[in-house]
Structure 1
Amino acid sequence: MKVAIAGGHGKIALLLTRKLADAGHEVVGLIRKPEHADDVTAAGGSPVLVDLESASATQVADALGGADAAVFAAGAGSGSGVERKWTVDRDGAVLLAAAAQLVGAYRFVVVSSMGAGQGDASSDNVFQVYLAAKGEADDAVRASALDWTIVRPGGLTDDPGTGRVTVGDSVGRGSIPRADVAEVIAVALETPSTVRTTFEVVGGDVPVAEALASLSPGPLAG
């Protein structure tokens, strides 16, 4: 499978790139800065330069390069202001979804956030706007023709992965290593039961594959 990852230089994206490459998949890492290319290559991916804040859907589609699946793992980052929560966290996901449909990359995974959709779009608080933007992005993807999966992790840590998680519609507040989020995405890409599902995930006691297999695919899946 050929997988394109938007936000290809992010921590989760690089971990995911290595997991997918080690499993024999071809990975394209979409990056905004040329200086990030070497890190993507080192992780086993092929870097492609494209800026989701300025590119057209056709340009992003070209960058996907015939991918079978796409992952939205981009984000404006903790130091960004309100405006980029809309232009990256929301609009970037919408743009990638449009591009994926253009090239037939119908398997589509979004790295969202616990609490997405519960923010206040009119707030001056950046985190409130972030949650609102992520919610609008998720809604747009769910309205698409894609075979989507929306992953909403709890607080992210850089601890070593455990390979064990808790998933569900609502799992309560908690944290999860980025390595385990990457594992969830890698497994979800090949797990039909995750198609058209939105789920929260935190650290837990259930092996990732077993946890995801317990989900029920949504309507129009397959």
Structure 2
Amino acid sequence: MENILVVGATGTTGRKVVSILKSSPYFEPIAMVRKESQIREFSDQGIQTVIGDLEKDITHIMDAIDVDKVVFAAGSGGKKVVEVDQEGAKKMIDASKNHNIKKFVMLSSMGAEHPEEATELKDYLKAKHNADEYLKTSNIRYTIVRPGSLTNDKGIGKIRVGQPLNERGSISREDVAHVLTKTLHEDAASHDCFEIVSGNELIENALADLANS
């Protein structure tokens, strides 16, 4: 059983990641929250928590808990893209590197590869791009997942994946959460970056095909 620190555990996608990990026979989630008032939501479910604010010093977090891998699903909602989406991610990458984390799974965004080409959300995509590039050069095993537009629809368990896809599309947060958790496995995509949208191929098969390509 591996301990997975979920950064952004109180976000819509982060909550789904925590829920999936809680029912997994392989992983145990640790929810990172910003406030003490957010602890009970997880402690009532028997889920360990740790307090950390990505806008502040977080070097203490890895000292306080036993973490094997990290899922970074945090986001500022477009309000503080540099402080949270970029610099906050870098802080967590540094902390992970200093504690020899086995793998870092980053929730990014389609369009982050070439943010200069974006017609909207350019600052957000630039911040995500910078964080992704920082992770790539960190010497940590990583997977960067770049979904299309996120929806709150029920997941269908099927995706289309590419490096890149060269097409736009949407995907449910539930399906994104399942992709993030599946990439935590040792035989899943490593030192890899890919885009996903809803599709016709089962998530497991799509990721297996990607690993074998």
Same fold (TM over 0.5): yes
Distance 1:54 1:87 in 2: 9
Q: Deviations over 1:57-95 (max 9, x none)?
A: x223225x12110011111114x1xxx211100111111
Tell me if 1:179 matches 2:174. yes
Unaligned runs of 5+ in 2: none
Q: CA deviation at 1:43?
A: 5.7
Partner of 2:105: 109
Q: Deviations over 1:126-183 (max 9, x none)?
A: 8211000000000000001111000000000111111111111122111101000010
Q: Return the letter of the residue paired with 1:153.
A: P
Partner of 2:205: 210
Distance 2:38 2:156 in 1: 28
Aligned ranges for residues 151-162 of structure 1 at < 5 Å?
Answer: 151-162=145-156
Q: Return the letter of the residue paired with 2:184.
A: L
Q: Is the 8 A contact 1:66 1:105 kept in 2?
A: no
Give the structure-2-normalised TM-score: 0.91
Partner of 2:85: 89
Unaligned runs of 5+ in 1: none
Q: Deviations over 1:18-65 (max 9, x none)?
A: 111101321111111222223333565322111111114x223225x1
Distance 2:168 2:209 in 1: 20
- Once superposed, what is the RMSD of the aligned Cα atoms? 2.2
Identity of aligned residues (%): 34
Distance 1:208 1:196 in 2: 19
Distance 1:126 1:164, change over 3 A: closer
173-182 or 43-52, larger mean C-alpha shift = 43-52
Partner of 1:32: 34
Partner of 2:67: 67
Partner of 1:143: 137
Q: Is the 8 A contact 1:109 1:189 kept in 2?
A: yes
Distance 2:46 2:111 in 1: 32
Distance 1:42 1:211, change over 3 A: farther
Partner of 1:21: 22
Q: Return the letter of the residue paired with 1:15.
A: K
Q: Return the letter of the residue paired with 1:114.
A: M
